[in-house]
Amino acid sequence: MLVSIIFIPIGVASLYASRDVVEIIDRYETDCLPENSRSNKDQKVQYIQGPGNKTCSRTIRVPKHMKKPIYVYYQLDNFYQNHRRYVKSRSDEQLRKNSSASDVDACKPEDNGVNGLPIVPCGLIAWSLFNDTYTFSRNSQKLVVNKKGISWKSDREHKFGKDVYPKNFQNGTLRGGKLLDSSIPLSEQEDLIVWMRTAALPTFRKLYGKIEEDLQPNDVIQVILENNYNTYSFSGKKKLVLSTTSWLGGKNDFLGIAYLTVGGLCFFLAVAFTVVYLVKPRQLGDPSYLSWNRNPGGH
Amino acid sequence: MSGWDRARPSGTRTGRGSNSTMNERIPSSRTVRLGRVQPQAPGFRTIYCNDRDANLPVRFRGNSISTTKYNFFTFLPKGLFEQFRRVANLYFLTISILSTTPISPVSPITNVLPLSLVLLVSLIKEAFEDWKRFQNDMAINNNPVDVLQDQRWESIPWKKLQVGDIVRIKQDGFFPADLLFLAGTNPDGVCYIETANLDGETNLKIRKAVEKTWDYLTPEKASEFKGEVQCEQPNNSLYTFTGNLVVQKQTLPLTPNQILLRGCSLRNTEYIVAVVIFTGHETKVMMNTMNVPSKRSTLERKLDKLILTLFGTLFGMCLIGAIGSGVFIDRKYFYLGLHEDVESQFDPNKPFVVAILTMFTLITLYSTIIPISLYVSIEMIKFIQCAQFINKDLHMYHSETNTPALARTSNLNEELGQVEYIFSDKTGTLTRNLMEFFKCSIGGEVYGTGVTEIERGVAERNGIRLADGKKSANMVQEKGFNFDDGRLMRGAWRNEPNSDLCKEFFRCLAICHTVLPEGDESPEKITYQAASPDEAALVTAAKNFGFFFYRRTPTMIFVRESHVEKMGKIEDVSYEILNVLEFNSTRKRQSVVCRYPDGRLVLYCKGADTVIYERLAIGNDDLKKVTRDHLEQFGSSGLRTLCLAYRDLSPNMYESWNEKFIQAKSSLRDREKKLDEVAELIEQDLVLIGCTAIEDKLQEGVPTCIETLARAGIKIWVLTGDKMETAINIAYACNLINNEMKQFIISSETDAIREIENKGDQVEIARFIKEEVKKELKRCLEEAQSYFHTVSGPKLALVIDGKCLMYALDPTLRVMLLNLSLNCCSVVCCRVSPLQKAQVTSLVKKGARKITLSIGDGANDVSMIQAAHVGIGISGQEGMQAVMASDFAIAQFRFLTDLLLVHGRWSYLRLCKVVTYFFYKNLTFTLTQFWFTFQTGFSGQRFYDDWFQSLYNVIFTALPVIIVGLFDKDVSASLSKKYPEIYRAGIRNVFFEWRVVAVWAFFSFYQSLVFFYFVTTSSSSPHNSSGKMFGLWDVSTMAFSSVVVTVNLRLLLMCNSITRWHYISVGGSVLAWFLFIFIYSGIMTPYDRQENVYFVIYVLMSTFYFYLTIILIPVVALLGDFIYQGVQRWFFPYDYQIVQEIHRHEREGRSRTELLEVANELSPDEARSYAISQLPREISKHTGFAFDSPGYESFFAAQLGVYAPQKAWDVARRASMKSKPKLGLKK
């Protein structure tokens, strides 16, 4: 009962918070393929791996007022960032210190480049860095996407070195993902930092940037995106997400519903037990319930 | 009588087979040989007495002993080896090795750390135990002994003693080694030794030195002794010794009669001088020490099965994962870098290899499903239970003998909570083996005013309270004599109408016996050495009646008679003993022919009523009838009776008889038989004097204890060497049998059997008895079953004697016997040999698969004690053999109530909780990991950080469960004894059935789903207003926090009583986790760890999300358990829960103050030990009165408008259970 008293308000509050969040999801991985490449997987893969312009334009209508900051996420699906081979394929030492550049043992198969020199940053995670890009404009007026401060501060400051610059990166036969500007230290490559914080589940969102302007209802947003990243070979979805946040974070009804359910359940149980007590009372400490009293002589 | 029987147990056994071999093996002094006699080492040893230099070249072993398992150097290898003989440890060693290979998903630390912690704890325990043994050895080794050096006695420690040394042992001293007896202070070169430590016998044995050496008593003289002992090599046969003593060119043969064995002690001799012949580990007693077969409790065996099930589950999980991984792996996941040459574990071309390797990966990953710390935790719990609770329980402390209970092994605590059958020895266990002259009937008049415990018990059951008879001031209280009747004492018998008969009665008591007087010839100081305590009691009685037997020579008995001629006159009378017709169990009587100083020839006879009555002279039927009535009366009060009779002999008749007697005595063939026949001739026409009644005193509180145990559903079998009548008698006395019971008596003492036996054809006897036994068994069984089908048939009791048992234990009849006896409430087996005791025990143990307990005090119980699941020795008496073989030692039979109903039940309950909880927490934890595997493409990626996983078992969840294992109790000790019936739950093993395990498994399945899916689902959105996302390690830290919190709270939910220790340990564990994670995520270690959780917790704890989840998840997870427990409690309450409810308003405090009052009466020493014993319990607040959650009681009360008092513990408890539902209505 206490639980229901406490839980129901919490549930309402969190549900309210969650409902307060405006979230726009735009799935684009198929729509951004040319018509003739959509039919089967091979064609898709061929397209995405081939040269040529992959720019794609999407329009998004804002349903409700969105208060700044508006966060831009990309959401991937069926992408096992938590696969064992993937997770361990990184070198924290190398990321942190310039002097440990050759510390690439864990990074196989992306440890040393074709020239035999160590790759910085090494490993599959860095190699497969997401490389779709988005630019937004409202009424042909560009919306600035702020890409600063999208990563964890602790990562930025302690796990990715200020003196570590990308070297020898993505110059193998097969390009996995994004190229990195070798003149910018890793600690400022926030896309990489975000990406390197591997997700727990095969469906995950990652922060792309922030739009620091309010969006009004019925604003139409033009998104120019470069559809570079290959999710076609493993039939993964790609989604672009624009979302505001509340004190509880993003849009997630789960906690609120769970709280409400548990609270309700407890209430129900309390009532049920009361009914049980009234309908089928059992005297506390009734000796006749003792097993040796229930069936006399039973042994 | 029983004492007589016991002295000659082999007398009537004419059976064959195992029984006859028993007879040969067991010497008539009723000892059990310890261990196998080892083959004799070739050759012999030569010892030069009193000459260390001469002995030097032979290098005899020193006298220091060591019973330690390890020494400084072997400790580590040997100890580790012992540890790895445990499957769980070996398993983890394998896992640890596996985890150093690349297929492992976890770093080796995950498995190595808990394993090493577990090993460390185990090794420390081993070291501690070994250290105690070492100290014990040191104490023994450093005992001082006087050794001859330079014509002086020098005191040196035992360990410095060498073969060939001459030592002096003083009275009551222990022999430091096996010695050759040279000389003693007693005049005729004898000394008395007590062998209680060897065989449990308390009567003294005589050793006699070779006459040649009698003089070497003083140091000066002894130093001149130069001899050479040639003797056998050391061996373990306690009763043999062969050797020669060469002294002054003379060779003297040595026999066991000159050997004093280590462990025995010197009695009644001022000091002796002896030569050391075997030392240290070569002494016979040390060579006899054998390893007590180690017992494992049934719970533990069941636990093994559980672990096997877990292995099965593990295998299943791994198989699923492995198949998944084989299916999953595909080159399409380009980001996994599978396009070039890939190591075989991820090679998409070989899915089969992938599956196999992943299998190993997953085994490593899921290794936490096997609770590695379970065994060591259980060991610790049991050890502390023994050391702190059982050994220090004042309820089981016997102040008279200063003996506390002693748990000799810590393996079997919980077994005590499941005992269904108790096999008890009679003498010394149920009874005190203390015979007291209690009543008598002389010439048709009953004397003696005492009331036996049995009579008192009967009276109490009938509602009459017998006032404790005031003991008259002049009553003589002495060992063996508990008689009070002014008409007989202090010569008052002279005024009785039948004073002549009284005189004969007393003379018969004083003359007709085989007792040896010992010590000073004064009534106060003399002690009697008798084959049985009965005899001693009778002679003591005679002494107290004024017929003081003080000296015996081979032909004479000297009696100091008072008040015979006239009051107050004391004279010494010597009776010439002409013939002694000894007791044996066929004759059942004993006679002495004596000649008075005045030439009167009398035959005094005493024996069982049946045999005496057969031989009485015709006439005087009144006396016979009255005496018979008295005999029956005595018998029903549980007394042991003997009839006394005499016969005057004429010289002529005696002479002619004596010739026949001498002839018979000197005959070479069938001497025994002929002697019996001759005895028959003279033991006729006896004149009945009266009868004696001796009380075989029950141990204190035995009948109550047995009744309590019976209510607890425990069946008690008495296995005794006594004869049937005595056994039945005692069974009555102990409430084991009463008149309402249907008794089945299977006896070999039937006419039919006797007839066949008299024909003497052994084969025929065996066949016949077997047939008879079979017939009887069948008849009884049918009858028993007919009773069994009727609803309220009488309770059944079976009495069977050893000879029948021998045949009944035959494989063909065994099943029948078992069926019959299991239907009986009590079974009495009489005249059984030690081997049969063990056989009966194993019959029930193996045949019925019930938990058995044997309790006994003597060497003849050793086999039984070792055969049962739990062996209990009665300690505090002189013999140690039973105790040495036992698992627990208690001082009194009645302490069984405490040991079983309180400690046993608690231990069982606690252990069940501990085991199921371990099972639950590891399964839950591992299952979350398993669910994660599905999300990772079956790659075997770990969900938790290495350190989380490795510390989960050993730190974050270790302590609370140990606290539960130590302090949990459902109902208090006094209630456990008040409601013995709740013990039955243990017999039925309701707390560790597969059903219980299944319920736990179900809930851990449910909870793990909650943990994983709630956490992952709720973390899929940005975690706070900064819009950042959680990564893998953030989610896992969140999940792990929920697991730790929930699992610890679940523990509180299952506790019956919550003490301060619970709060501390549960709070501490949760705190430990947060402390750990705070530090852990705050530091960066320099070496090759991936800093996965760096800073995680700080970020997590800065979000609302974290707090909401950590409150939600435990509640959701525990809701299931809570509902289950509520429903169970309400609709299907366990007995103990009802008892809790009945006594819910009683505060533990009251009983505690009562206890404290008891403590105040104790001596300071006892009080201190009491205080120690109370330390942990004092804090234990018993709270589980009404419901597992206190909310309930008040909740319903509130509903009905009844005011439910708030209790201190209620508030405290509420505080600890904030997150539990249903506390609300209290407001």
Does B1177 have pLDDT greater than 70? no
Round to the nearest angstrom and report the end-to-end CA distance of chain A: 42
Tens digit of each residue's pLDDT (9 = 90 or more) over A116-133 = 888 888 888 988 999 899
DSSP state of A199: -
Is the domain of A266 the same as that of A189?
no
Interface probe, candidates A20, A85, A231, chain B, greatest B C-beta count within 10 A? A85
Q: Say if CB B1130 and CB B1172 are below 8 A apart.
A: no
A214 in a domain, yes or no? yes
Selecting from A124, A154, A158 the residue whose C-beta is nearest the C-beta of B335 gives A124
Cβ distance of B1222 and A1 shorter than 8 Å: yes
Q: According to the model, what pLDDT value does residue B198 have?
A: 65
Query: In 3-state terms, what secondary structure has residue B1162?
Result: coil
Q: According to the model, what pLDDT value does residue B380 have?
A: 85
Q: Which of residues 334-393 of B touch A (CB under 8 A)?
A: 334-337, 339-340, 342-343, 346, 361
> In percent, how much of chain B has pLDDT > 90?
6
Q: Which residue has the higher pLDDT, A217 or B256?
A: A217
Does B913 have pLDDT greater than 60? yes
Q: According to the model, what pLDDT value does residue B941 have?
A: 87
Q: Which long-range contacts (CB under 8 A, 24 or more apart) does B585-590 make?
A: B585/B4, B585/B5, B585/B8, B585/B11, B585/B12, B585/B723, B586/B11, B586/B12, B586/B676, B587/B611, B587/B676, B587/B679, B589/B683, B590/B512, B590/B513, B590/B514
| Residue B532, number of CB atoms within 10 A of its CB | 22
Q: What is the mean pLDDT of residues B280-300?
A: 72
Residue B194 is which amino acid? Answer: E
Q: Say if CB B1133 and CB B1191 are below 8 A apart.
A: no
Phi and psi, residue A28, nearest 5°: -130, 0
Identify the domain boundary among A222, A244, A266.
A244
Is the domain of A2 the same as that of A79?
no
Most confident stretch, A82-86, B692-696, B755-759: A82-86
Tens digit of each residue's pLDDT (9 = 90 or more) over B1053-1103 = 888 777 788 888 899 999 999 998 888 888 776 554 556 777 888 888 888
Q: Which pTM was predicted?
A: 0.78
How many angstroms separate the CA atoms of B605 and B779, rounded? Answer: 40
Is the domain of A29 the same as that of A154?
yes
Q: According to the model, what pLDDT value does residue B342 have?
A: 74
User: With bands split at pLDDT 50, 70 and 90, how would you rate the model's confidence at B39?
Assistant: very low
Most confident stretch, B411-420, B1069-1078, B1118-1127: B1069-1078
Cβ distance of A82 and B1139 shorter than 8 Å: no
Cβ distance of B336 and A80 shorter than 8 Å: yes
B936: left (phi over 0), alpha (psi -120 to 50) or beta: alpha
Residue labelled with tokens 């067991």: B26
A35 in a domain, yes or no? yes
A40 in a domain, yes or no? yes
Residues placed in the known binding site of B for Mg(2+): 425, 427, 857, 861
Cβ distance of B1108 and A202 shorter than 8 Å: no
Cβ distance of B335 and A128 shorter than 8 Å: yes
Does B1005 have pLDDT greater than 90? yes
Q: According to the model, what pLDDT value does residue B1190 have?
A: 32
Q: Which residue has the higher pLDDT, B359 or B1083?
A: B359
Tens digit of each residue's pLDDT (9 = 90 or more) over A138-183 = 888 888 999 888 888 888 888 888 888 888 888 777 777 888 888 8
Does A69 have pLDDT greater than 90? no
Interface probe, candidates B329, B334, B335, chain A, greatest A C-beta count within 10 A? B335
ipTM, interface predicted TM-score of the complex = 0.93
Enumerate helices (H) and strands (E) in chain B, giving the number of each: 45, 35
Q: Is A210 on the interface with B (CB under 8 A)?
A: yes
DSSP B1188-1206: SSTHHHHHHHHHTTPPPPP
Which sequence positions of B are flagged as catalytic? Answer: 425
Q: Is B332 on the interface with A (CB under 8 A)?
A: yes
How many angstroms separate the CA atoms of B373 and B121, rounded? Answer: 10
Cβ distance of A88 and B1090 shorter than 8 Å: yes
How many angstroms separate the CA atoms of B358 and A218, rounded? Answer: 52
Q: According to the model, what pLDDT value does residue A291 have?
A: 61
Q: Is A254 on the interface with B (CB under 8 A)?
A: yes
* Closest CA relative to residue B627, chosen from B646, B612, B648: B612
Q: Which of residues 33-52 of B touch A (CB under 8 A)?
A: none
- Report CA dihedral (B1151, B1157, B1159, B1164) to the nearest 10 degrees: 160
Q: Which residue has the higher pLDDT, B1144 or B609?
A: B609
Report the Cα A102 to chain-centroid distance in Å. Answer: 31
Residue A49: closest CA among chain B residues belongs to which residue?
B334
Is the domain of A57 the same as that of A189?
yes
Tens digit of each residue's pLDDT (9 = 90 or more) over B622-634 = 888 888 888 888 8
Q: Which residue has the higher pLDDT, B1008 or B223?
A: B1008
Q: According to the model, what pLDDT value does residue B516 have?
A: 80
Q: What is the mean pLDDT of residues B454-480?
A: 60
Stretch (H or E) spanning A278: helix A254-279
Q: What is the mean pLDDT of residues A215-223?
A: 89
Stretch (H or E) spanning B512: none
Is the domain of A45 the same as that of A6?
no
Most confident stretch, A4-8, B13-17, B42-46, B216-220: B216-220
* Closest CA relative to residue B1042, chosen from B924, B1159, B1186, B881: B924
How many angstroms separate the CA atoms of B865 and B851, rounded? Answer: 13
A80 in a domain, yes or no? yes
Does B15 have pLDDT greater than 80? no
Cβ distance of B1112 and A292 shorter than 8 Å: no
Q: Which residue has the higher pLDDT, B391 or B635?
A: B391
Q: Which residue has the higher pLDDT, B1226 or B927?
A: B927
User: With bands split at pLDDT 50, 70 and 90, how would you rate the model's confidence at A210?
Assistant: very high
Tens digit of each residue's pLDDT (9 = 90 or more) over B21-36 = 333 333 333 333 333 4
Does B838 have pLDDT greater than 90? no
Selecting from A2, A10, A233 the residue whose C-beta is nearest the C-beta of B334 gives A233
Selecting from A3, A204, A255 the residue whose C-beta is nearest the C-beta of B1108 gives A255
Q: Say if CB B183 and CB B217 are below 8 A apart.
A: yes
Q: Say if CB B352 and CB B326 are below 8 A apart.
A: yes
What is chain B's mean pLDDT, rounded? 78
A123 in a domain, yes or no? yes
Q: According to the model, what pLDDT value does residue B197 have?
A: 64
Chain B partners of A84 at a C-beta cutoff of 8 Å? Answer: 105, 361, 936, 939-942
How many angstroms separate the CA atoms of B3 and B474, rounded? Answer: 30
User: With bands split at pLDDT 50, 70 and 90, how would you rate the model's confidence at A288?
Assistant: low
Is the domain of A138 the same as that of A98?
yes
Strand segments (E) across B564-618: 570-581, 589-595, 601-607
Least confident of B329-338, B753-762, B1164-1173: B1164-1173
How many angstroms separate the CA atoms of B296 and B382, rounded? Answer: 13
Cβ distance of B984 and A258 shorter than 8 Å: no
Is the domain of A13 the same as that of A128?
no
Is the domain of A143 the same as that of A14?
no
Q: Is B1091 on the interface with A (CB under 8 A)?
A: yes
Q: According to the model, what pLDDT value does residue B609 have?
A: 81
Q: Say if CB B964 and CB B920 are below 8 A apart.
A: no
Q: Is B1199 on the interface with A (CB under 8 A)?
A: yes
Q: Is B1142 on the interface with A (CB under 8 A)?
A: yes
Q: Say if CB A204 and CB A81 are below 8 A apart.
A: yes
| Residue B578, number of CB atoms within 10 A of its CB | 17
Residues facing residue B276 across a β-bridge: B179
Does A13 have pLDDT greater than 80? yes
Stretch (H or E) spanning A26: strand A23-27
Chain A partners of B935 at a C-beta cutoff of 8 Å? Answer: 82, 200-202
Q: According to the model, what pLDDT value does residue B753 have?
A: 76
DSSP B1108-1136: HHHHHHHHHHHHHHHHHHHHHHHHS--HH
Tens digit of each residue's pLDDT (9 = 90 or more) over B93-123 = 888 888 888 777 777 777 788 888 888 888 8
DSSP state of B846: I
A145 in a domain, yes or no? yes
Query: In 3-state terms, what secondary structure has residue B575?
Result: strand
Tens digit of each residue's pLDDT (9 = 90 or more) over B1125-1154 = 888 887 787 878 778 777 766 544 434 333
Least confident of B621-635, B736-750, B765-779, B999-1013: B736-750
Residue A81: closest CA among chain B residues belongs to which residue?
B936
Does B74 have pLDDT greater than 60? yes
Domain count, chain A: 2
Cβ distance of A285 and B1142 shorter than 8 Å: yes
Q: Is A200 on the interface with B (CB under 8 A)?
A: yes
A56 in a domain, yes or no? yes
Cβ distance of A73 and B791 shorter than 8 Å: no
User: With bands split at pLDDT 50, 70 and 90, how would you rate the model's confidence at B1039?
Assistant: very high
Query: In 3-state terms, what secondary structure has residue B1054?
Result: helix
- CA angle (A268, B920, B1210) in 5-degree steps: 50
Q: What is the mean pLDDT of residues B888-916?
A: 89
Cβ distance of B1221 and A1 shorter than 8 Å: yes
Chain A partners of B932 at a C-beta cutoff of 8 Å? Answer: 82
Does B18 have pLDDT greater than 60? no
> In percent, how much of chain B has pLDDT > 70?
84
Q: Say if CB A127 and CB B337 are below 8 A apart.
A: yes
Q: Is B714 on the interface with A (CB under 8 A)?
A: no
Q: Is A138 on the interface with B (CB under 8 A)?
A: no
Q: Is A267 on the interface with B (CB under 8 A)?
A: no
Q: According to the model, what pLDDT value does residue A284 have?
A: 63
Q: According to the model, what pLDDT value does residue B54 have?
A: 79
Tens digit of each residue's pLDDT (9 = 90 or more) over B1149-1169 = 434 333 333 333 333 334 333
User: With bands split at pLDDT 50, 70 and 90, how would you rate the model's confidence at B201?
Assistant: low
A64 in a domain, yes or no? yes
User: With bands split at pLDDT 50, 70 and 90, how would you rate the model's confidence at B1196?
Assistant: very low
Does B764 have pLDDT greater than 90? no
Compute the count of residue pairs across chains A and B with CB atoms less than 8 Å apart.
Answer: 258
Does B819 have pLDDT greater than 80? yes
Is the domain of A12 the same as that of A49?
no
Q: Is B1124 on the interface with A (CB under 8 A)?
A: no
* Closest CA relative to residue B767, chosen from B728, B820, B736, B812: B812
Is the domain of A3 the same as that of A150?
no
Least confident of A204-208, B181-185, B210-214: B210-214
* Closest CA relative to residue B433, chosen from B585, B518, B510, B537: B537
Is the domain of A8 the same as that of A102?
no
Give the side-chain half-sphere CA count within 13 A for B225.
34
Stretch (H or E) spanning B126: helix B109-141
Does A19 have pLDDT greater than 80? yes
Is the domain of A76 the same as that of A191?
yes
Q: Is A145 on the interface with B (CB under 8 A)?
A: no
* Closest CA relative to residue B901, chosen from B1156, B716, B714: B714
Range of the domain at A150: 23-244
Cβ distance of A203 and B361 shorter than 8 Å: no
Does A282 have pLDDT greater than 80? no
Chain B partners of A73 at a C-beta cutoff of 8 Å? Answer: 1022, 1029
